[in-house]
């Protein structure tokens, strides 16, 4: 990055005019191209003379009625009823019967249960599919006088463990700094799955939980509402008001300090409302140990046309009813896997409106337009990746850093330490640095790597990257033994910048706990959602840097409109790199 210059008002005006003209020119030509192709295809496929294809999809209203029998565990009754009613509304030819307990189970095509599949299904004697997510939550009384401190600090898994295992720690001054010396009474909903989830989360024996007060769902809510200093544990659905999609009056969700650093960081703060919380569960911000699954189970894999169509709808358009009932929906890759398992890739998915049919000719239109869009998007990304500056009237414009600039290849697992992992066919795992981090540091001048044969554990330092004498320690996304290091990086570490996911890989590891550790990594859309929060955290970090007697950096941190400059750390001093290490990288471990 070149040295910065002082800009005059006329320079900004000239640049603004130039950028406006350039953007207008690009949009004008793209619009003409899109409209032209649409008209051409419109005429070529017969839409101009009103021809259409035969409709496909759900059975018409005139077809014979079909009955599908389903059932559910009691806690999923409302959700199952919602699914059934909505599907019947969209497909009037189908009748869904919700069997009651004790009815002939031989007629049941599909059952919906939560948290754990029956042992027989586990042993391969049946079929199951994950269709949603459940969550175990901690709640406090909304009138707790320490509520502000609780929301600022949160409570970690270790502190929860002390609450159940150490009587002397069962008071608020042990849970939070500045807390009152008052005893905490704990309440649990009378549910085995709640106990099991808390046991997993705190890593203590479930028998310890017997000492706490146990109650039914209705009694649980009443008890915590009456006890100002209480902490309660239950399913999210036990304390969710379905009518308003909020927590029931008098209670509040208790924030969990997931990274155990004594505070609720911006990226951990998912407790402001129900939508933010359920989204946080989906993108992995909530402790995995407190999350459960909602399963569709059957004695055999469903092959009946009505059952397959209904389950396909549940895992696609029916997902929106999960949030409305206090649950979390599936990630996009899980939805795709379910559809492939149920129907195969050529199956036509049920639509929300049974009268709306997609013709083959319109699909051709959409496909061509998508291709055009992808070509234009790829061209824009290519231009951005060149890191070129536009010269206009003697002023240099520095490229900006935003989410649209970053690459996130499908099939890779990403860690919060901004590293990635990919399992090769031989079972070994390639590891490298993500596009986000290399855009922040600028071109790397050196990398310090560990040697083949050394063991690493997830979260331990695995490499040090250097830019002009300033360095950052990077941590391992998984545990394993180093089998190979990328020796090309010893002579050209800038490969990490130019090709972070191909020639810029860093290690090949023999993984030691792959199946468990990937549960804490991100993929695809989940990773992109998390990156959005990382950009917010990054801007917060640099805003604090500017305020901290480093105003000289302000012009290279933020562009007009608050955008970050690309390679934002490159021209900053070592003291900023040290702050970035301790306040940004290390807090993500």
Q: What would the DSSP string read from start to end of 193-214?
A: HHHHHHHHHHTS-GGGGGGSEE
* pLDDT above 70 for 218: yes
Read off the pLDDT of residues 372-429 as tens digits, 9 standing for 90 and up. Answer: 667 766 666 655 555 444 444 444 445 678 778 898 998 899 999 999 999 998 889 9
Instruction: Please indicate whether residue 234 or residue 365 has the higher confidence score (pLDDT).
Output: 234
Please, which pLDDT band fits residue 102 given cuts at 50, 70 and 90?
A: low
Residue 115 has what pLDDT?
Answer: 63
* pLDDT above 80 for 271: yes
Instruction: Please indicate whether residue 511 or residue 117 has the higher confidence score (pLDDT).
Output: 511
Read off the pLDDT of residues 131-180 as tens digits, 9 standing for 90 and up. Answer: 988 889 999 999 999 999 999 999 999 999 988 888 888 899 999 999 99
Q: What percent of the chain has pLDDT over 90?
A: 38
Residue 273 has what pLDDT?
Answer: 87
The CA–CA distances, whole Å, from 20 to 27, 28, 142, 471, 561 equal 10, 12, 51, 38, 14
Please, which pLDDT band fits residue 103 given cuts at 50, 70 and 90?
A: low
CA 104/CA 118 separation, integer angstroms = 18
Residue 566 has what pLDDT?
Answer: 86
* pLDDT above 80 for 61: no
Instruction: Please indicate whether residue 328 or residue 362 has the higher confidence score (pLDDT).
Output: 328
CA 85/CA 321 separation, integer angstroms = 11
Under DSSP, the state recorded for 584 is: I
Instruction: Count Cβ atoms within 10 A of the Cβ of residue 583 and give its class: 0-12 exposed, 13-18 middle, 19 or more buried.
Output: middle
Q: What percent of the chain has pLDDT over 70?
A: 72
Please, which pLDDT band fits residue 45 given cuts at 50, 70 and 90?
A: very low
Mean pLDDT of 475-485: 96
Instruction: Please indicate whether residue 33 or residue 466 has the higher confidence score (pLDDT).
Output: 466
Residue 7 has what pLDDT?
Answer: 39
Mean pLDDT of 364-374: 67
Name the residue among 82, 70, 74 with its Cα closest to residue 115: 74
Q: What CATH fold (topology level) applies to the domain 401-589?
A: OB fold (Dihydrolipoamide Acetyltransferase, E2P) (2.40.50)
Q: What are phi and psi of 478, to 5 degrees?
A: -140, 170
Residue 108 has what pLDDT?
Answer: 87
Residue 382 has what pLDDT?
Answer: 58
Average pLDDT across the chain, whole number: 79
* pLDDT above 90 for 545: no
The CA–CA distances, whole Å, from 427 to 419, 432, 449 equal 19, 17, 22
Beta strands in 402-533 (DSSP E): 413-414, 419-423, 429-433, 446-449, 455-456, 461-467, 470-475, 480-485, 507-511
Residue 164 has what pLDDT?
Answer: 85
Mean pLDDT of 324-333: 73
CA 223/CA 232 separation, integer angstroms = 9
Read off the pLDDT of residues 223-247 as tens digits, 9 standing for 90 and up. Answer: 999 999 999 999 888 898 878 888 9
| Other Cβ atoms closer than 10 A to 465 | 23
Read off the pLDDT of residues 296-317 as tens digits, 9 standing for 90 and up. Answer: 999 888 988 999 999 999 999 9
* pLDDT above 90 for 337: no
Weakest-pLDDT range from 322-336, 471-485, 496-510, 561-575: 322-336
The CA–CA distances, whole Å, from 162 to 175, 187, 202, 439, 501 equal 9, 15, 9, 42, 43
Residue 208 has what pLDDT?
Answer: 67
Supply the CATH classification number for the domain 66-132+292-343: 3.40.190.10
Please, which pLDDT band fits residue 56 given cuts at 50, 70 and 90?
A: very low
Q: What CATH fold (topology level) applies to the domain 134-291?
A: D-Maltodextrin-Binding Protein; domain 2 (3.40.190)
Please, which pLDDT band fits residue 348 given cuts at 50, 70 and 90?
A: very low
* pLDDT above 70 for 19: no
H helix and E strand count, the chain: 20, 24
Choose the most confident range, by mean pLDDT, from 52-66, 182-196, 413-427, 549-563. 413-427
Q: How many residues does the chain have?
A: 589
CA 490/CA 344 separation, integer angstroms = 46
Residue 118 has what pLDDT?
Answer: 63
Residue 368 has what pLDDT?
Answer: 66
* pLDDT above 60 for 5: no
Whether residue 79 contacts residue 327, with contact meaning beta carbons closer than 8 Å, is answered with yes
CA 548/CA 538 separation, integer angstroms = 15
């Amino acid at each position: 990055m070149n040295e910065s210059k002082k800009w005059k008002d006329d320079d900004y005006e000239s640049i603004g005019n130039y950028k406006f003209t350039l953007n207008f020119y690009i949009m004008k030509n793209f619009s003409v191209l899109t409209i032209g192709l649409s008209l051409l295809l419109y005429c070529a496929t017969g839409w101009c003379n009103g021809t259409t294809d035969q409709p496909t999809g759900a059975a018409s209203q005139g077809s014979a009625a079909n009955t599908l029998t389903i059932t559910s565990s009691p806690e999923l009754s409302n959700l199952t009823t919602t699914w059934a009613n909505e599907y019947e509304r969209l497909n009037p030819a189908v009748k869904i019967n919700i069997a009651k307990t004790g009815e002939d189970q031989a007629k049941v095509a599909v059952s919906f249960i939560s948290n754990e599949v029956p042992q027989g299904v586990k042993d391969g004697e049946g079929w199951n599919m994950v269709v949603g997510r459940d969550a175990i939550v901690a709640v406090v009384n909304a009138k707790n006088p320490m509520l502000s401190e609780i929301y600022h600090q949160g409570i970690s898994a270790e502190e929860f463990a002390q609450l159940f295992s150490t009587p002397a720690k069962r008071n608020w001054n042990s849970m939070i700094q500045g807390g009152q010396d008052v005893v905490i009474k704990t309440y649990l909903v009378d549910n085995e799955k709640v106990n099991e989830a808390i046991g997993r989360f705190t890593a203590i024996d479930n028998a310890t939980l017997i000492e706490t007060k146990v109650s039914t769902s209705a009694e649980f809510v009443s008890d915590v509402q009456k006890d100002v200093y209480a902490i309660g544990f239950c399913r999210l659905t036990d304390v969710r008001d379905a009518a308003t999609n909020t927590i029931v009056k008098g209670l509040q969700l208790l924030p969990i300090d997931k990274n155990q650093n004594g505070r609720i960081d911006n990226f951990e703060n998912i407790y402001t409302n129900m939508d933010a919380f359920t989204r946080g569960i989906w993108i992995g911000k909530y402790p995995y140990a407190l999350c459960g699954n909602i399963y569709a189970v059957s004695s055999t894999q469903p092959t009946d046309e009505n059952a397959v169509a209904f389950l396909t709808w549940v895992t696609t358009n029916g997902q929106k009813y999960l949030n409305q009932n206090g649950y979390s929906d599936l990630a996009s890759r899980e939805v795709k896997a379910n559809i492939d398992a149920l129907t195969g890739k050529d199956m036509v998915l049920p639509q929300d409106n049974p009268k709306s049919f997609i013709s083959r000719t319109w699909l051709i239109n959409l496909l061509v337009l998508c291709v055009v869009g992808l070509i234009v998007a790829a061209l824009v990304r290519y231009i951005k990746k060149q890191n070129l500056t536009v010269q206009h009237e003697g002023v240099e414009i520095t490229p900006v850093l935003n989410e649209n600039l970053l690459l996130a290849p499908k099939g890779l697992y990403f860690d919060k330490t901004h590293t990635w992992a990919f399992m090769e066919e031989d079972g070994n795992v390639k590891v490298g640095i993500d596009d986000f981090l290399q855009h922040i540091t600028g071109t790397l001048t050196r990398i310090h790597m560990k040697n083949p044969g050394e063991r690493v554990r997830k979260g331990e330092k695995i490499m040090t990257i250097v830019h002009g004498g300033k360095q950052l320690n990077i941590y391992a996304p998984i545990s394993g033994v180093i089998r190979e290091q990328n020796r090309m990086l010893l002579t050209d570490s800038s490969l990490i910048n130019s090709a972070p996911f191909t020639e810029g890989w860093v290690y090949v590891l023999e993984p030691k706990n792959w199946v468990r550790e990937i549960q804490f990594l991100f993929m695809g859309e989940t990773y992109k959602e998390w990156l959005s929060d990382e950009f917010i955290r990054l801007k917060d970090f640099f805003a604090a840097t500017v305020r901290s007697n480093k105003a000289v950096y302000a012009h290279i941190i933020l562009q007009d409109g608050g955008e970050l400059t690309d390679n934002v750390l490159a021209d900053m001093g070592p003291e900023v790199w040290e702050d970035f290490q301790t306040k940004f990288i290390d807090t993500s471990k």
